[in-house]
Amino acid sequence: MSLELWREITAEYDGRIIKGSFKFIDGKVDGEPSTEARQINWAVVLPEQVAKILLRELAREGRA
């Protein structure tokens, strides 16, 4: 059994602060509000950066 560690995250979108949380498991970032897990390349971006991108996408869709 693996331990899931969730981290709180905030980002700015359209002049407002949006909040969510994410976990990083097996090279993928998954988050709340619900997102599709995204595979990332460690050489390019950090999991927290991917989580912020996903959070902004959710805000753009009106889901955050």
pLDDT along the chain (64 residues), means of 10: 78 91 78 59 70 87 84
User: How much is the pLDDT for 1?
Assistant: 54
Cβ count within 10 A of residue 51: 25
Backbone Cα Rg of the chain: 12
User: How much is the pLDDT for 15?
Assistant: 94
User: How much is the pLDDT for 63?
Assistant: 84
Distance CA(51)–CA(8), nearest Å, equals 10
Place of tokens 């912020």: 52
